[in-house]
Each structure stands twice: as C-alpha cells, then as structure tokens.
Amino acid sequence: MKNGIESATGVLEVTVTDEMTARLDDRQLHPVYSTFWACWHAETAARRAIEPFFEEGENAVGSALELRHLAMAKVGCHIRVEATVTQLSGRRIVCTIRITGGNENTLLAEGVQEQTVLAESRLQDLVSKAVM
C-alpha cells in the first residue's frame, strides 16, 4: 500500500430514487431508502477510499460489513456516504462508515466495512477456485 492511506476517505453522493426503496421481489415495501442500498453504497465508498493507495499488482476484497440503519430518507433525498480508513492491521483495512442525508445532514446509518488486501495473482487464483 502507498503512504497516506491511514486516514483516507472515500465519498459517494446520490439522490434516493424509487429503485433504492425497500423492495421484495417486484413490490415496494416502504417508500424510503433501503438498507440494501445503504450497504451497497457503503461498500462503494470504502473501495473509493482505499483503491488510490494500491501498489502495482495489489487488490482487495470485502471481508466484513456491519451497518446500523438509524433513520429513514424519502425518495428525492440527497445522501452522502463517507468511508474513512480508521484501522490498518497487516492486510486488513477497516473503514468507518457514515451515511447522512437531508437538509440537516441527519445521520441515516453508521458502521464499519473491512477489506483484505491481496496480491492480484492470489485473488485471481481464489477466483478460479470459487464455487460455481
């Protein structure tokens, strides 16, 4: 890893769409930002935080995600997802996640996301052995 990752931050900003609401199969359950999308956005922001610090031949895989969904956001709400590297331990990188939204930057969700750094060659070996 390149220097500077110790406090790196990745950001994703989106506006909640109907597609991002709580759904089951083809029906909407609740017309608000879903936990599923909050998790996907957290993963994306975390990857944005660390990817600029990869050395040639390095990559990473997600290994854990814990997210508490604390408040609701309606369709049309502007969401900001921040992932900040808060812990490095060997090949393990932990990002703290904060998702805020609305005019008052209400805390919508918070948690942690973990990635494990691997050599690209090792990752390709694991992919070739993945369950089918």
pLDDT tens string 24-76: 999 999 999 999 999 999 999 999 999 999 999 999 999 999 999 999 999 99
Q: What is the number of structural domains in the chain?
A: 1
The CA distance from 28 to 77, in Å, is 17
pLDDT at 73 (0 to 100) = 98
The CA distance from 94 to 62, in Å, is 10
**Is the CB of residue 111 less than 8 Å from the CB of residue 35?**
no
Nearest to 86 by CA among 99, 96, 72: 96
The DSSP code for 14 is: E
Beta bridge partners of 114: 64, 94
CATH number of the domain residue 105 falls in: 3.10.129.10
> Is 107 in a helix, a strand, or coil?
strand
pLDDT tens string 1-21: 999 999 999 999 999 999 999
| Dihedral class, residue 56 (left if φ above 0, else alpha if ψ from -120 to 50, else beta) | beta
Structural domain of residue 87, as residue ranges?
A: 5-128
